[in-house]
């Protein structure tokens, strides 16, 4: 990769204050996203993906806070900006799509007004101009009859239509970076594919970079150029998506890939259960010593249980944190 990245995260630590002590909910988080790039962050629920995204956009709230590290946007540190400067950045330069639009959208405001607000707040448009731009924004995300739909409330729309509204809001001001946090979780498979394709096409047209957050490695591998795999608050592997899918290095990544259903596998293997990773992600206040994956790892040895692995650079590009990686 050449040139300055759009956003760069270096040794980020996110702390949780449980009243009695401060513990690291996520630590040692480092990655970069270039202009126009689609970068994936994957892992099971509870691994720290969403709080990392909230840290990037300045939306962490107590008991969570940034405990260390640097976040640079276009070379400028943004992790300690004032609330007013963060609001200028959010929506205008960095936007986010949340996984459940019914909780993100205002239930007592028509969706058109919620889109129009972006143009009023960030672009200085009059409400008359903004309302017309809202119709155009809905049309751009393929909402039928946008002139009528702008008057609808969120509960009057289907899940797929609500997510299209969220995309319209997020892209209204032409941000440089779109953070998509599990944008298709609550949607059926057909609608998922439509939403992902829509998001990819719109961002490609506008040159918008995407941080795609998901627990679905298959989805991310198909959409993203590079992927970081996160487990229990740490990135354990980062590589090109084709390499991660073809030859995963970390045992956790191997488990994620092995658990994916394969087209035609029933014909070849018969009715067999999908593979699964034994155990669950530990609670933030109960992270194990050493490699945090060691209680669930069949390859774990004594050093894995006592000393956290350092970063190993891979010949094919990227890195892995494991004593026994492939």
- Beta partners for residue 15, in sequence order: 24, 65
Q: What is the pLDDT of residue 264?
A: 57
Strands 38-42 and 209-214: parallel
Query: Which residues lie closer than 8 Å to 57 by C-beta, 6 or more apart?
Result: 86, 89, 90, 94, 96, 179
- Interatomic CA distance for residues 174 and 160, integer angstroms: 22
The answer to whether the beta carbons of residues 248 and 257 sit under 8 Å apart is yes
Element (H, E) at 231: strand 226-231
Strands 38-42 and 226-231: parallel
- Beta partners for residue 29, in sequence order: 12
Q: What is the pLDDT of residue 261?
A: 77
Query: Which residues lie closer than 8 Å to 182 by C-beta, 6 or more apart?
Result: 50, 99, 213, 214, 215
Residue pointed to by tokens 């293997």: 269
Q: State pTM to two decimals.
A: 0.92
Query: Which residues lie closer than 8 Å to 148 by C-beta, 6 or more apart?
Result: none
- Interatomic CA distance for residues 228 and 319, integer angstroms: 9
Q: Which residues of 3-33 are buried (b: 16+ CB within 10 A; e: fewer)?
A: eebbbbbeebbbbbeeeeeebbbbbbbbbbb
- Beta partners for residue 119, in sequence order: none
Record the tokens describing residue 178, joined without a space.
């779109």
> How many of the other CB atoms lie within 10 Å of CB of 70?
15
Record the tokens describing residue 163, joined without a space.
């997510």
Record the tokens describing residue 111, joined without a space.
């969706």
Domains of the chain: 7-93+175-320 (3.40.50.300)
Sheet holding 22-33, edge to edge: 22-33, 7-17, 64-73, 76-77
Please give the chain's pLDDT, 326 residues, in tens: 557 899 999 999 999 998 889 999 999 999 999 999 999 999 999 999 999 999 999 999 999 999 999 999 999 999 999 988 998 899 889 999 988 888 899 999 999 999 999 999 999 999 999 999 999 999 999 999 999 999 999 999 998 999 999 999 999 999 999 999 998 877 788 888 888 889 989 999 999 999 999 988 878 888 899 999 999 999 999 999 999 989 999 999 999 998 887 665 555 555 566 788 999 999 999 999 999 999 999 999 999 999 999 999 999 899 999 999 98
Q: What is the pLDDT of residue 26?
A: 97
What are the angstrom distances between the C-alpha of 79 and each of 55, 62, 191?
8, 15, 35
């Amino acid at each position: 990769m050449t040139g300055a990245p759009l956003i760069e995260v270096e040794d980020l630590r996110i702390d949780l204050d449980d009243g009695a002590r401060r513990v690291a909910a996520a630590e040692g988080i480092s990655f970069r996203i270039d202009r126009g790039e689609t970068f994936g962050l994957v892992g099971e629920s509870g691994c720290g993906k969403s709080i990392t995204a909230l840290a990037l956009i300045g939306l962490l709230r107590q008991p969570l806070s940034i405990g260390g590290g640097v976040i640079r946007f276009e070379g400028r540190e943004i992790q300690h900006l004032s609330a007013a400067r963060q609001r200028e950045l959010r929506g205008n330069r960095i936007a986010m799509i949340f996984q459940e639009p019914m909780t993100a959208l205002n239930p007592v405001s028509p969706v058109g007004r919620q889109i129009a607000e972006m143009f009023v707040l960030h672009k200085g448009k009059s409400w008359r101009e903004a309302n017309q731009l809202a119709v155009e924004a809905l049309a751009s995300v393929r909402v039928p009859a946008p002139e009528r739909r702008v008057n609808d409330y969120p509960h009057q729309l289907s899940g797929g239509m609500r997510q299209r509204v969220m995309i319209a809001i997020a892209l209204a001001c032409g941000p440089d970076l779109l953070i998509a946090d599990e944008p298709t979780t609550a949607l059926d498979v057909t609608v998922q594919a439509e939403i992902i394709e829509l998001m990819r096409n719109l961002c490609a047209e506008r040159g918008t970079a995407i941080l795609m957050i998901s627990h679905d490695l298959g989805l991310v591998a198909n959409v993203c150029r590079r992927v970081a795999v996160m487990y229990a608050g740490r990135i354990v592997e980062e590589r090109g998506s084709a390499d991660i899918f073809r030859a995963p290095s970390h045992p956790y990544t191997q488990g994620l890939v092995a658990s994916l259903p394969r087209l035609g596998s029933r014909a070849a293997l018969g009715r067999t259960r999908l593979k699964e990773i034994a155990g669950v992600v530990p609670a933030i206040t109960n992270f194990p010593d050493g490699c945090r994956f060691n209680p669930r790892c069949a390859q774990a040895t004594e050093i894995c249980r006592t000393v956290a692995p350092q970063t190993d650079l891979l010949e094919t590009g990227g890195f892995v944190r494991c004593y026994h990686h492939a």
